[in-house]
Chain A
């Protein structure tokens, strides 16, 4: 039993570290408020932008 305890402790510690660090998948799209803002954020993060042009009716 004494031999198993350190192993369990290490596993638990690993689990805690993993759950803290793991990046959660987004559950919805967070839309930028304007294209200007989107491009600013994209430049800061060096990521592409998806711009959805839509129209009612």
Chain B
């Protein structure tokens, strides 16, 4: 964001009407915890009173950034706006998915889980194209919650339902990671080795090889 979004004139123009501030998460841990920052970059839009209006989680280009901020200032697509929309249409998969993402970005993992589960319930056949993402996110949330056994089950279920998803390789990498985290080094090494065989051209090959060496206690 620093070298791209925040150097664009349309974003700079916003600074004539708002106060911009940076918080380095590793140093400003109190502020980070106060706002339940789930990852980086996260941009939180605050009222002058300090109350959160909403947030942007992850990198977005300048035009999108300005559009989102302007929407938020008008009360559009904020958490409360989406909750109202979903209440008025509880069968809408897209609202449910967006709510899940909003809660995940606030580290409200139980609520995020609830809405990702709603996505799966509402669209088991993935007609809206969000079910695979929801299942993958449900598994990732178990990793965030450090429940590695549940995470393995959830990633395996995801792979069973969507073996050709573009996130399948990531899920195959996550499973040995979870085994290693839960102390089953042998299984983790076995699955990392299987990953190298199944994905010979993966951009993560070097990282996976490094993980195997680490788990075997070999020096890199």
Q: Residues on A close to B: CB < 8 A?
A: 23, 25-35, 37-39, 41-43, 45-56
Contact = CB atoms under 8 A, between A and B. Distances in A.
Interface of B: 1-2, 6-7, 9, 11-26, 28, 31-32, 35, 37, 40-50, 53, 69, 73
Q: Is the interface of B mostly helix, strand, loop or mixed?
A: mixed
B23 A29 contact: no
A32 B20 contact: yes
B43 A43 contact: no
Contacts, number: 125
Nearest to B30: A35
13 contacts: A26-B13, A27-B12, A32-B21, A33-B21, A34-B21, A42-B18, A43-B48, A43-B49, A47-B17, A50-B21, A54-B22, A54-B25, A56-B26
B48 A42 contact: yes
B46 A48 contact: yes
A30 B20 contact: yes
A48 B47 contact: yes
A52 B55 CA distance: 10
Given A26-B15, A50-B18, A35 B40 contact: no
Contact of A54 (B9, B15, B40, B69): B40
B11 A29 contact: yes
A28 B8 CA distance: 9
B35 A55 contact: no
Given A32-B19, A32-B20, A54-B22, A49 B45 contact: yes
A51 B46 contact: yes
A50 B45 CA distance: 5
